[in-house]
Each structure stands twice: as C-alpha cells, then as structure tokens.
C-alpha cells in the first residue's frame, strides 16, 4: 500500500497486500463452513445436545462472516483489529457449536485448528499466541463445564495435547507466512530492480554511439538501435532479412561464418560510410550480436590522440627553440647595422626572415596548448573589429590596406575570449590578404544576429576561392598552399573557436544566414564564418 514501510527483519511484520489474499480465502472458508452448519448440520449429526444453541450459534456465525467480510469493516476497524475480531468470533462460536454437538468427539477442535492456522497466516506477531491461548482456554472450559454438568467428557490429557497443537499450528503457520511474505517482497524487489536494469540497458543501447543489431537464424533482424539505422543508411524493421536491407553487412556475416573472424570492415550500401562490424554469439538461440562502429569517428579519435601527443612534444621543443632563435635573430640585426657588402647584407636578411618564420611557427605550436585557457566575455563586435583593423593596418603596413567593414551593427556582441578572437581574425584576414585581388574593397568583415539567436561573424575576400578538392583539407594541421605558411593557422583558429563554444566553418559562395535587413552579397572568393553565442 502507498506509504507502507517494509521491515522484513521484524517478527511482527505483515504486509497489507500480502495479508489481503489469504484473508479473502479465509473468509470464503468461514462462509462455506457457516452455511454448511445451517444447511447440513443435522445430517452431520451436529447440535444433538442442544439444537437451539447449535442453530443460534450457526446463524450468528453466518451473520458475523457476512458483516465482517465487507470492505467497509476493514476501513472502520482497521485490518489488524478486524482479523482479531474474526478469529475471536471463530473460536467463540465454534466452541459453542462444539458444546451443542457433543463436545470434543464432534470433531470441532479440528475446525478450530484450521481457524488458528488461518489466523497464523494473516495475524501479526504475538497476537497469534493470544489466539491459541484463547482457543485453549475455550476448549478447556467447555470440557470442564461438560464434566460439571454430568455430560460425556474426554480425558483432560487428550484435550491438553490438542491445546498444545493449537499453539504449534498457530506458530508454524505464522512462521511460514513470514517466510512466504519475505520471499514475495524479495521477489517483488528483484523484479523491480530487473525492470529498472532493463530500462537502463535499453536507454544505453538507444543512446550509444555504436550501432547494435541482434540477428536471428538466417540473418533475420530481431532488434536494432537508431544508430545502426543511421550508420547503415537504410530503413529497417524487426523480422526483415538482413540481405534485403544491408547486403554488404550480410556478405560480411557470411564471410565470418566461413573464416571465423569476429571483426570485419565494409562500406555500407546506404550511407556509403566505412564501418567496422564485430560479431558475437548471443545466447543459445543461434542469435548473433553485431556492433557497428564508424571508421571515420575512430580515425578522428586516433588523430586527436596523435595531435595531443604531438602538441605536447612540439610545445616542449618550441620552448627550447625560442631562446637560441632569439639570439640568432638579434645577432642578424646587429650584423645588419654594420657596414657590409651587398651579398653579406642579403644573407643576413635571409637569416632574419627565416628566423621570423621559425618564430611564427613556434608561436603557432604554442597556441595549441592554450586552447583550453579560454575566458569568454561579451565583446562588442563593432568596437572590437575596429580596434583589430587599426592594429592590423599598423602592423602590416601597406599590406594591411583594402579591408572594409561592411555591416557590423553597434549592438551586436559575441561571447569569446578577446585574445582568441583576435588570433582567429588575424589568421582569417591574413589568409584573405594573401589571396585577394589587393583592391580597395578586397576583404569584407560582416556581423549579424542569426535567427537561432547566435551571432555570425563573416570574413570573405574577392580572390579565386578554395578549389573543391582542397575544401575538406583546409582545417587539417600542417596543410598549406603558401610557400612560407606553417599550415597551422586555420587548424588553430577552429580549435580556439571550439574552446569558446563557437564554430568556424568554410562557406564558399554561400550567402550567410542573417535576420533582416538583408546583407549585401558576399564576395566571390573564400568565405569563412564564425558562429558564436551572445552571452558567455
């Protein structure tokens, strides 16, 4: 019942739900017994000593069973009190019927034993011993009154043995009821735990990144999760033959049966993805459990691990390179100040230029280790971009000219680390400056709110753009088409954007998603977009 506290260690414990069913059967037994007394009492040779008392007690017994058997009685008296009243009525009226039917030899004590056994099943703790004591007292008093009135009696030793049986049967029934009730609650708890575990396992399988299939005999699909459908790129349903929806996987399953290998790689027919399938035997019903893994995701994870290890290695090397590199660069500047021949000056400039190039490479490598040090703040983009352009023009000189801010409304903010956004813009504008036409409006920086509530910051140029075969490689580390580039600029920019919860993407000749008013068309060259949050 709701709110009930279960205490399986207590001897007085009795669960309401566990007592309701035995009590229902006990009431049915009482109803049949009282009706039998009224209908067939004389035929059973009962009530011979006092028919009036017999029929009065039988009628009272039937009335008590009917009155106390209604659900309202349990609500008014409480289930424990109702049980006590019913048991005391049983013993009292059965003793009167025994008095009217010839005493002990009528067989009524056997019915009292049954009543006490039922009381042991539905009663609580020491109350069961009280019922047995009451029955013992009632039977002894009945035999004593019979003796004093001069009627036929039995030996008190025989009655005493029966009374001992009252205590024994009541206590044994109670212990058996407790054991059954404990086992029932344990089974119910284990059933609830098992159901919870099944729900948890089902949720895990539904949300896991790997696809899961359960195949029956003949390659019939028994179960599958949504990720398996996404990886295979086909529609599936239970009972469908695997060969009808995923023939490539069916071939790998047949190859596994011939070769005995547990893992096979194949290309899915529907999605075109390269997948790794692992086959395991499931149970004893000739079922096969299939795990599907995305090779591209595995490759990305391996690449991330390699890049992390490479970043730690190169960062430590970069620190060691910077000190002697600074000395070489300073020495080249000092040599350049002295009067040297034109050839010597040219060689010194080569030394200085390459030292600067190595220094930029070291700076880019060190930036890989700082991606997790993001401190996002709400940056007003109009002011930030204006300051950035001033700094870029001052640093790059004539090469910094030709950048035009197209539409950056004053009220727009982006949640980014100030240093990170500056480095991202420096890399994007620097790349655009190398590939643009060099005209007065060769590069555009636009910003606007998107319909999804985020901010888009775009950098586009009027250069030749990025060829189709190279678009998938522009964010890979150490990939560059510039003879003096490090190949880390765009990779670091994307990593810094992700560290701030933003996205850096390539949108070649695709107009940016903007809210009204519409923006001017983007330039025809490369077009990069930073999508970030408004608030940190």
pLDDT tens digits, one per residue of 199-223: 887 777 777 778 888 888 878 888 8
> What is the structure's pLDDT at 450?
86
**Going along 169-273, which residue ranges are E strands?**
211-215, 221-224, 263-267
298-368 has the same fold as 208-294:
no
Q: Do 450 and 515 form a contact (C-beta atoms < 8 A)? A: yes
> What is the structure's pLDDT at 365?
63
Least confident of 21-25, 195-199, 244-248, 460-464: 21-25
Closest CA to 288 of 205, 219, 242: 219
Q: Do 83 and 119 form a contact (C-beta atoms < 8 A)? A: yes
Residue 36 burial (CB count, 10 A): 15
Q: Are strands 455-461 and 274-282 parallel, antiparallel or unpaired?
A: unpaired
Q: Give residue limits of the domains in the chain.
A: 16-189, 208-294, 298-368, 377-532
**pLDDT tens, position by position, 176-195:** 878 877 888 888 888 888 88
**pLDDT tens, position by position, 493-505:** 888 888 888 888 8
> What is the structure's pLDDT at 518?
40
> In whole angstroms, what is the distance from residue 86 CA to residue 119 CA?
9
Please name the helix (run of DSSP H) or strand (run of DSSP E) that holds residue 281, with its range, or none.
Answer: strand 274-282
CATH number of 298-368: 1.10.287
Residue 292 burial (CB count, 10 A): 24
Q: Is the pLDDT of residue 17 over 60?
A: no
Residue 422 structure tokens? 């500056």
Please name the helix (run of DSSP H) or strand (run of DSSP E) that holds residue 64, with its range, or none.
Answer: helix 51-68
Q: Is the pLDDT of residue 236 over 50?
A: yes
Q: What are phi and psi of 455, to 5 degrees?
A: -115, 135
Q: Which residue has the higher pLDDT, 247 or 360?
A: 247
184: region left, alpha or beta (phi > 0 left; psi from -120 to 50 alpha): alpha
> In whole angstroms, what is the distance from residue 314 CA to residue 359 CA?
13
Going by CATH, does the domain composed of 377-532 fall within 3.30.565.10?
yes
Closest CA to 522 of 450, 440, 444: 444
Q: What is the mean pLDDT of residues 85-110?
A: 81
Q: Do 525 and 461 form a contact (C-beta atoms < 8 A)? A: yes
DSSP for 70-95, please give it: SHHHHHHH-HHHHHHHHHHHHHHHHH
Q: What is the mean pLDDT of residues 164-187?
A: 81
> What is the structure's pLDDT at 485?
59
Q: Is the pLDDT of residue 519 over 60?
A: no
| Burial classification of residue 166, based on how many CB atoms lie within 10 Å of its CB (0-12 exposed, 13-18 middle, 19 or more buried) | buried
Question: 4: which residues sit within 8 A by CB, 6+ positions away?
Answer: 15, 16
Helix, strand, coil percentages, rounded to 5, for the chain: 60, 15, 30
> In whole angstroms, what is the distance from residue 366 CA to residue 319 CA?
8
Residue 374 burial (CB count, 10 A): 18
Residue 331 structure tokens? 């020495």
Least confident of 102-106, 483-487, 490-494, 514-518: 514-518
Residues composing the chain: 536
Q: Do 533 and 501 form a contact (C-beta atoms < 8 A)? A: yes
Q: Do 512 and 520 form a contact (C-beta atoms < 8 A)? A: no
> In whole angstroms, what is the distance from residue 479 CA to residue 467 CA?
14
**pLDDT tens, position by position, 109-161:** 888 888 888 777 777 767 888 888 888 888 888 778 777 777 766 667 777 78
> What is the structure's pLDDT at 70?
76
Residue 80 structure tokens? 């424990």
Q: Do 58 and 38 form a contact (C-beta atoms < 8 A)? A: yes
Q: Is the pLDDT of residue 473 over 70?
A: yes
Q: What are phi and psi of 378, to 5 degrees?
A: -75, 105
> In whole angstroms, what is the distance from residue 129 CA to residue 387 CA?
93
Q: What is the architecture of the domain spanning 208-294?
A: 2-Layer Sandwich (3.30)
> In whole angstroms, what is the distance from residue 245 CA to residue 279 CA?
18
Q: Is the pLDDT of residue 2 over 70?
A: no
> In whole angstroms, what is the distance from residue 406 CA to residue 68 CA?
90
Percent pLDDT > 90 in the chain is 1
């Amino acid at each position: 019942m709701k709110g009930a506290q279960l205490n399986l260690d207590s001897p007085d414990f009795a669960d309401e739900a566990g007592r309701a069913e035995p009590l229902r059967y006990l009431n049915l037994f009482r109803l049949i017994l009282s009706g039998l007394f009224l209908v067939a009492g004389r035929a059973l040779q009962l009530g011979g000593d006092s028919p009036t008392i017999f029929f009065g007690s039988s009628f009272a017994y039937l009335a008590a069973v009917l009155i106390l058997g209604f659900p309202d009685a349990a609500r008014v008296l409480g289930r424990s009190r109702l049980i006590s009243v019913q048991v005391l009525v049983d013993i009292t009226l059965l003793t009167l019927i025994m008095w009217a039917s010839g005493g002990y030899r009528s067989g009524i004590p056997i019915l009292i034993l049954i009543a006490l056994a039922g009381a042991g099943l539905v009663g609580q703790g020491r109350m069961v011993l009280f019922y047995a004591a009451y029955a013992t007292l009632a039977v002894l008093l009945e035999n004593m009154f019979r003796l004093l009135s001069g009627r036929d009696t039995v030996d008190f030793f025989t009655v005493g043995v029966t009374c001992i049986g009252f205590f024994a049967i009541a206590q044994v029934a109670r212990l058996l009821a407790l054991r059954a009730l404990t086992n029932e609650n344990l089974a119910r708890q284990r059933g609830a735990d098992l159901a919870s575990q099944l729900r948890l396992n089902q949720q895990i399988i539904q949300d896991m990144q790997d696809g899961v299939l359960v195949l029956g005999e003949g390659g019939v699909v028994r179960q599958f999760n949504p990720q398996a459908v996404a990886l295979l790129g086909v529609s599936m349903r239970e009972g469908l033959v695997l060969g009808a929806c995923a023939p490539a996987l069916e071939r790998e399953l047949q190859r596994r049966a011939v070769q005995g290998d547990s893992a096979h790689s194949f290309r899915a027919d529907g999605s075109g993805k390269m997948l790794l399938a692992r086959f395991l035997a499931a149970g004893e019903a000739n079922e096969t459990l299939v795990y599907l893994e995305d090779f591209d995701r595995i490759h990305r994870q391996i690449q991330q691990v390699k890049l992390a290890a490479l970043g730690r290695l190169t960062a430590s090397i970069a620190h060691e390179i910077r000190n002697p590199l600074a000395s070489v660069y300073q020495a080249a500047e000092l040599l350049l100040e002295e009067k040297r021949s034109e050839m010597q000056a040219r060689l010194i400039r080569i030394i200085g230029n390459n030292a600067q190039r190595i220094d930029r490479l070291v700076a880019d490598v060190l930036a890989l280790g700082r991606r997790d040090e993001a401190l996002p703040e709400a940056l007003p983009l109009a002011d930030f971009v204006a300051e950035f352009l001033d700094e870029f023009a001052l640093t790059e000189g004539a090469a910094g000219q030709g950048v035009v801010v197209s539409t950056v409304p004053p009220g727009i903010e982006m949640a980014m680390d100030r240093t990170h956004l500056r480095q991202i813009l420096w890399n994007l504008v620097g790349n655009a400056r190398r590939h643009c036409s060099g005209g007065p409006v060769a590069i555009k920086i636009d910003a606007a709110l998107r319909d999804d509530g985020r901010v888009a910051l775009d950098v586009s140029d009027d250069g030749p753009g990025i060829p189709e075969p190279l678009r998938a490689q522009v964010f890979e580390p150490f990939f560059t088409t510039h003879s003096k580039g490090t190949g880390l600029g765009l990779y670091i920019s994307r990593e810094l954007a992700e560290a701030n919860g933003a996205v850096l993407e390539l949108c070649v000749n695709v107009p940016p998603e903007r809210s009204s008013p519409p923006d001017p068309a983007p330039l025809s060259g490369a077009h990069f977009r930073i999508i970030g949050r408004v608030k940190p």
